[in-house]
Chains A and B, each alone.
Chain A
Amino acid sequence: MKRLLSIEWSKIFYYKSARVFTILYFTLLILLGVVISFIKPNLNGLEFNLRELGYFNFPYIWQNLTYLFAIGKIFLGVILIMNITNEYTNGTLKQNLIDGLSKNEFLSSKFLTVLVLTLASTAFLFVIALILGLTLSSTEFGFYEGIEYLGAYFIKLLFFFTFCTFLGVLLRKSVFALLGFFVWWIVEGIISVVEVLIKLNITDTGKNPADITLISNYLPLGSSSSLIPLTKFDIAGILMNKSAFVYSPVDKSYLFTCILYTIVFALLSKWILKKRDL
Chain B
Amino acid sequence: MKKVLEIQNLTKKFGKLTAVENLSFHVEKGNIYGLLGPNGSGKSTTLGVILNVTNPSSGTWKWFDENPSVESLKRIGAIIERPNFYPYLSAERNLEIVAKIKEVDRSKIDEKLKLVGLLDRKKDKFSTFSLGMKQRLAIAGALLNDPEVLILDEPTNGLDPQGIIQIRELIQRIAATGTTIILASHLLDEVEKVCSHVVILEKGKTLYCGPVDEMVSNHGFLELASDNITLLQQELNNLAYFSHTKEENGLIKAFLNEEVNPKEINKLLFEKGIILHHIAKRKDSLEQQFLQMTKNDRA
Interface residues of A (CB under 8 A from B): 3, 6-7, 10-11, 14-16, 86, 90-92, 94-103, 105, 275, 277-278
Residues of B24-59 contacting chain A, CB below 8 A: 48, 51-55
7 closest A-B pairs by beta carbon, nearest first, are A91-B84, A95-B84, A100-B73, A100-B74, A278-B53, A277-B54, A99-B101
Residues on the A chain within 8 Å of B141, using CB: 95, 99
B9 to chain A, nearest CB (A): 19
Residue of A nearest to B55 (CB): A277
Residue of B nearest to A274 (CB): B55
Residues on the A chain within 8 Å of B78, using CB: 98
Residues on the A chain within 8 Å of B102, using CB: 99-100
| Complex partner residue of B80 from A14, A86, A98, CB under 8 angstroms | A98
Cβ B73 vs Cβ A99 within 8 A: yes
A-B contacts, 14 of them at CB < 8 A, read A7-B97, A11-B89, A15-B86, A90-B85, A92-B85, A95-B80, A99-B98, A99-B102, A100-B70, A100-B71, A100-B76, A100-B101, A101-B101, A278-B54
Cβ A3 vs Cβ B103 within 8 A: yes
Residues on the B chain within 8 Å of A94, using CB: 53, 80, 84
Cβ A90 vs Cβ B84 within 8 A: yes
Cβ A277 vs Cβ B100 within 8 A: no
B96 at the interface (CB under 8 A from A): yes
- Knowing A98-B51, A101-B70 are in contact, say whether A11-B86 is a contact too (CB < 8 A): yes
B158 at the interface (CB under 8 A from A): no
For the complex, what is the distance from the CA of A7 to the CA of B99, rounded to whole Å?
9
B96 to chain A, nearest CB (A): 6
Residues on the A chain within 8 Å of B71, using CB: 100
- Knowing A7-B101, A278-B53 are in contact, say whether A102-B70 is a contact too (CB < 8 A): yes
Residues on the A chain within 8 Å of B62, using CB: none
Residue of A nearest to B88 (CB): A15
Size class of the contact patch on chain B: 20 to 34
B87 at the interface (CB under 8 A from A): yes
Cβ A6 vs Cβ B87 within 8 A: no
| Complex partner residue of A277 from B48, B87, B88, B96, CB under 8 angstroms | B48
- Knowing A3-B103, A98-B80 are in contact, say whether A10-B74 is a contact too (CB < 8 A): no
Residues on the A chain within 8 Å of B80, using CB: 94-95, 98
For the complex, what is the distance from the CA of A277 to the CA of B85, rounded to whole Å?
19
B12 to chain A, nearest CB (A): 8
B219 at the interface (CB under 8 A from A): no
B93 at the interface (CB under 8 A from A): yes
B82 at the interface (CB under 8 A from A): yes
Residue of B nearest to A95 (CB): B84
Residues on the A chain within 8 Å of B14, using CB: 277
Chain B, residues 93-113, CB within 8 Å of chain A (1/0): the string is: 100111011110000000000
Cβ B100 vs Cβ A6 within 8 A: yes
Residues on the B chain within 8 Å of A97, using CB: 51-53
Cβ A16 vs Cβ B88 within 8 A: yes
Q: Known A-B contacts: A7-B101, A98-B78. Give 14 more (CB < 8 A).
A: A91-B82, A91-B84, A92-B84, A97-B51, A97-B52, A100-B70, A100-B71, A100-B102, A101-B70, A101-B101, A102-B70, A105-B70, A278-B48, A278-B53
For the complex, what is the distance from the CA of A86 to the CA of B86, rounded to whole Å?
9
Residue of A nearest to B103 (CB): A3
For the complex, what is the distance from the CA of A232 to the CA of B85, rounded to whole Å?
51
- Knowing A14-B89, A90-B85 are in contact, say whether A7-B53 is a contact too (CB < 8 A): no
For the complex, what is the distance from the CA of A278 to the CA of B48, rounded to whole Å?
8
Cβ B87 vs Cβ A90 within 8 A: yes
Cβ B89 vs Cβ A3 within 8 A: no
Residues on the A chain within 8 Å of B70, using CB: 100-102, 105
For the complex, what is the distance from the CA of A253 to the CA of B189, rounded to whole Å?
68
